[in-house]
């Protein structure tokens, strides 16, 4: 089966191949850097990462661009309230975002680009739209006239033919069903940051940022454009209007949207106090891998219900995989190969790949891996798992982890010295003797995170560095 993805444009699962057969030109709407990313944002960025990794697994090369929105209504309001220059304010949150990406093991897109460094491209694009008669000016601002763009609504599948001509909006966001002419360039106001332009001093609207940067780096027609489902309208609809209005060519072949995340069955909101950031979860004692696992355990097109309980379950699952891998690496096995296990292994890989090819069905892909672990763990217990099966099983785990990336501990160079390892092992042994198994496991995992692998043998505990 070929790799297939759900395209919001056609509302169908379609086979995906990049237009040149090799390099995927992909654009993802990035963060607006005015605050820490919350786990709903991180779901979308983790989805981008999953998609990237699967495209690479399938042999494609990536040219992935993500923007940093560093000029926008909320940013300006917040930085002015605090009396901090806008760039100083945004750089701080950009840095936090990049740190979170790294902690979450999210691959960096090939190009990360800031809106404020592409004002010139935005101005050019607005001028093109002006010459095509798709805009009008009002009080120093420039608006896109959506009634002049017949394709308006094709992504959100709304019929906007009866819209009120001339109704317009200056805000960067507005309600569904309420299509209005949107602002391309906002005239200079008070002390707000501004740039000079042929149509007057001001600053870009949010939507024009993505059109200008996507086309600059990836050409007129992208292979894939991704974002959270809340961006489909109006943001992506407006991106289409701007880009296609200017070039007359399709802007993106595939539009892929990641669903929302709820917390305890409710929308995240300030008033409910249920907005979590990665940093909040780490403070509560959870690991970034557990969050990665939770976010990937639900296919991206399904709503995900986040609970702190699910974080614990995820950690247990990750520990099972890690212990299984340790066992595969260190158990003494009898010679020869068990053909049944060789078949199990092949079947598991086939199921894993077919699930991912099926619109990134990460839940099924996980199930295939865990079924294999369960079955072969008991075969290891029975002694029918043989030396000749070791490499194939480890290869399966490596394939799985090339996408899920939760097994291999990401040990920062903690510089744990031998004597510390020995004393932790002694502590663990006493914990086990006292039947404090949770504590013993905790120490084992702590060591694993520092790159120390323990092996319980008849003669006591052996350990090695990874």
* CA 302 to the chain's CA centroid: 15
Q: How far apart are CA 199 and CA 130, in angstroms?
A: 10
- Rounded to 5, what percent of the chain is helix, strand, coil? 50, 20, 35
Going by C-alpha positions, the residue among 278, 297, 309, 326 that lies closest to residue 403 is: 297
CB of 343 to Zn ion, least distance (A): 47
Site for Zn ion in 252-311 (CB under 5 A): none
CB of 242 to Zn ion, least distance (A): 11
Tokens representing residue 78 in the block: 């917040």
DSSP conformation letters of 99-162: HHHHHTTPPPPSEEEEGGGGHHHHHHHHHHHHHTT-EEEETTEEEE-GGG-TTTTTTTT---TT
The residue among 29 and 318 lying less far from Zn ion, judged by its C-beta, is: 29
Site mask, Zn ion, residues 160-199, x = CB under 5 A? ----------------------------------------
The residue among 222 and 425 lying less far from Zn ion, judged by its C-beta, is: 222
Tokens representing residue 22 in the block: 């090799």
The residue among 210 and 345 lying less far from Zn ion, judged by its C-beta, is: 210
CB of 369 to Zn ion, least distance (A): 34
How many residues line the site for Zn ion (CB under 5 A)? 2
Print burial letters for 67-85: b (CB count within 10 Å at least 16), e (below 16).
bbbbbbbebbebbbeeeee
Stretch that binds Zn ion, among 24-32, 120-128, 134-142, 144-152 (CB under 5 A): 24-32
CB of 254 to Zn ion, least distance (A): 15
State the virtual CA torsion across 18, 43, 57, 106 in degrees, nearest 10: 110
User: Coil, strand, or helix at residue 93?
Assistant: helix
Stretch that binds Zn ion, among 26-34, 217-225, 241-249, 322-330 (CB under 5 A): 26-34
Q: Is 29 in the site for Zn ion (CB under 5 A)?
A: yes
Stretch that binds Zn ion, among 29-37, 160-168, 370-378, 438-446 (CB under 5 A): 29-37
CB of 139 to Zn ion, least distance (A): 26
The residue among 210 and 222 lying less far from Zn ion, judged by its C-beta, is: 210
The residue among 153 and 205 lying less far from Zn ion, judged by its C-beta, is: 205
The residue among 108 and 462 lying less far from Zn ion, judged by its C-beta, is: 108
Q: How far apart are CA 228 and CA 43, in angstroms?
A: 9
CB of 352 to Zn ion, least distance (A): 32
The residue among 210 and 314 lying less far from Zn ion, judged by its C-beta, is: 210
User: Coil, strand, or helix at residue 27?
Assistant: strand
Stretch that binds Zn ion, among 102-110, 143-151, 208-216, 319-327 (CB under 5 A): 208-216
The residue among 140 and 250 lying less far from Zn ion, judged by its C-beta, is: 250
Contact by Cβ (8 Å): 5, 256 = yes
Print burial letters for 104-131: b (CB count within 10 Å at least 16), e (below 16).
bbbbebeebbbbbebbebbbbbbbebbe
The residue among 31 and 202 lying less far from Zn ion, judged by its C-beta, is: 31
The residue among 29 and 240 lying less far from Zn ion, judged by its C-beta, is: 29
Stretch that binds Zn ion, among 134-142, 174-182, 210-218, 457-465 (CB under 5 A): 210-218
Contact by Cβ (8 Å): 43, 303 = no
CB of 227 to Zn ion, least distance (A): 6
Stretch that binds Zn ion, among 7-15, 28-36, 110-118, 289-297 (CB under 5 A): 28-36
Q: Which residues pair with 136 in a beta bridge?
A: 143
CB of 187 to Zn ion, least distance (A): 22
Site for Zn ion in 379-408 (CB under 5 A): none
Tokens representing residue 405 in the block: 């990336």
Quote the strand ranges of 232-300, DSSP E: 252-258, 261-263
CB of 30 to Zn ion, least distance (A): 8
Residues forming the site for Zn ion (CB under 5 A): 29, 210
């Amino acid at each position: 089966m070929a790799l297939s993805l759900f395209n919001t444009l056609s509302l169908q699962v379609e086979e995906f191949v990049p237009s040149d057969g090799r390099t995927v030109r992909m654009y993802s709407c990035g963060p607006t850097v005015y605050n820490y990313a919350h786990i709903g944002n991180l779901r979308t960025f983790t989805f981008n990462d999953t998609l990237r990794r699967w495209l690479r697994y399938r042999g494609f090369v990536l040219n992935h661009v993500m923007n940093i929105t560093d000029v926008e209504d909320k940013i300006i309001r917040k930085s002015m309230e605090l009396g901090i220059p806008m760039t100083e304010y945004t750089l701080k949150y950009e840095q936090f975002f990049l740190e979170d990406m790294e902690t979450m093991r999210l691959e960096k897109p090939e190009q990360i680009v800031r809106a404020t460094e592409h004002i010139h491209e935005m101005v050019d694009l607005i001028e093109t739209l002006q010459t095509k008669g798709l805009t009008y000016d009002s009080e120093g601002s420039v608006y896109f006239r959506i009634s002049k763009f017949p394709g308006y609504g094709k992504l959100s599948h709304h019929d906007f033919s009866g819209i009120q001509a001339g109704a317009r909006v200056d805000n960067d966001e507005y309600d569904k069903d309420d299509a209005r002419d949107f602002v391309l360039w906002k005239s200079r106001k008070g002390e707000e940051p501004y740039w000079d332009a042929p149509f007057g001093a001001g600053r870009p609207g949010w939507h024009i940022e993505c059109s200008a940067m996507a086309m600059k780096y990836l050409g007129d027609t992208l292979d894939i454009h991704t974002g959270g489902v809340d961006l489909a309208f109006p943001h992506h609809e407006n991106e289409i209007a701007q880009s296609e209005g200017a070039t007359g060519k399709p802007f993106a072949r595939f539009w892929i949207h990641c669903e929302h995340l709820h917390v305890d069955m409710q929308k995240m909101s300030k008033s409910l106090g249920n907005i979590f950031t990665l940093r909040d979860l780490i403070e509560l004692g959870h690991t970034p891998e557990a969050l990665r696992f939770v976010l990937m355990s639900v296919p991206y097109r399904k709503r995900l219900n986040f609970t702190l309980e699910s974080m614990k379950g995820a950690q247990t699952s990750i520990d099972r995989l890690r212990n299984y891998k340790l066992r595969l690496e260190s158990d003494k096995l009898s010679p020869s190969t068990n053909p049944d296990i060789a078949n199990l292994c092949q079947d598991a890989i086939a199921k894993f790949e077919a699930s991912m090819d099926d619109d990134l069905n990460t839940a099924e892909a996980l199930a295939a891996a865990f079924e294999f672990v369960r079955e072969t763990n008991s075969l290891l217990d029975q002694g029918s798992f043989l030396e000749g099966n070791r490499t194939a099983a480890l290869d399966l785990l490596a394939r799985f982890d090339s996408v899920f990336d939760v097994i291999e501990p990401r040990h920062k160079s903690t510089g744990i010295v031998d004597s510390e390892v020995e004393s932790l092992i002694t502590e663990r042994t006493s914990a086990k003797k006292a039947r404090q198994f949770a504590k013993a496991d905790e120490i084992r995992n702590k060591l694993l995170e520092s790159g120390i692998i323990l092996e319980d043998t008849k003669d006591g505990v052996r350990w090695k560095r990874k």
